[in-house]
Amino acid sequence: MELPRPIPMDLAEMIAARMRVIGDPNRIRILDQLRDGELSVSEITERLGTSQQNASKHLGILLRAGIVSRRKEGTSSLYRVADDGVFALCEQVCGGIQDQLTELTDLVGGRR
């Protein structure tokens, strides 16, 4: 999908709101864990070494933003990524950061 140019203010505000939701380090780590499929809160807390309260808080924010979805299975809630586009965005940003780190390493190492 191609964005209109210039981007209308209401659309820019929606994009910025979504970027703020994704832009938290805890949420980035949660999304990374959900890359391979559904997980419960307890599985996420175990993998990330965080508290259940912290994981639940960030999952709630991701859920309200429509980035993750939740389904009940017995007494557990299972979370999964609802919008796979978030991974493409993360890959794009991570690739740019990796390029910058490589460039800095080359500069510091005198390879340029």
Domain assignment present for 102: no
**Cα distance between residue 11 and residue 8, in whole Å:** 5
The whole-number pLDDT of residue 88 equals 74
- Domain range enclosing 46: 9-83
**Cα distance between residue 33 and residue 89, in whole Å:** 16
Q: Running DSSP on this structure, what letter comes out for residue 79? A: E
Domain assignment present for 107: no
The whole-number pLDDT of residue 39 equals 98
DSSP string for residues in 27-50: HHHHHHHHTTS-EEHHHHHHHHT-
The whole-number pLDDT of residue 66 equals 93
Q: What is the mean pLDDT of each run of 10 residues along the chain (112 residues)?
A: 88 90 93 94 97 98 96 95 80 68 76 56
Q: Is 37 left (phi over 0), alpha (psi -120 to 50) or beta?
A: left
**Cα distance between residue 70 and residue 106, in whole Å:** 44
The whole-number pLDDT of residue 6 equals 93
3-class state of residue 53 by DSSP: helix
The whole-number pLDDT of residue 108 equals 82
**Cα distance between residue 27 and residue 18, in whole Å:** 12
Structural domains in the chain (count): 1
Q: CATH code at 17?
A: 1.10.10.10
**Cα distance between residue 78 and residue 90, in whole Å:** 22
Reported pTM? 0.78
Domain assignment present for 40: yes
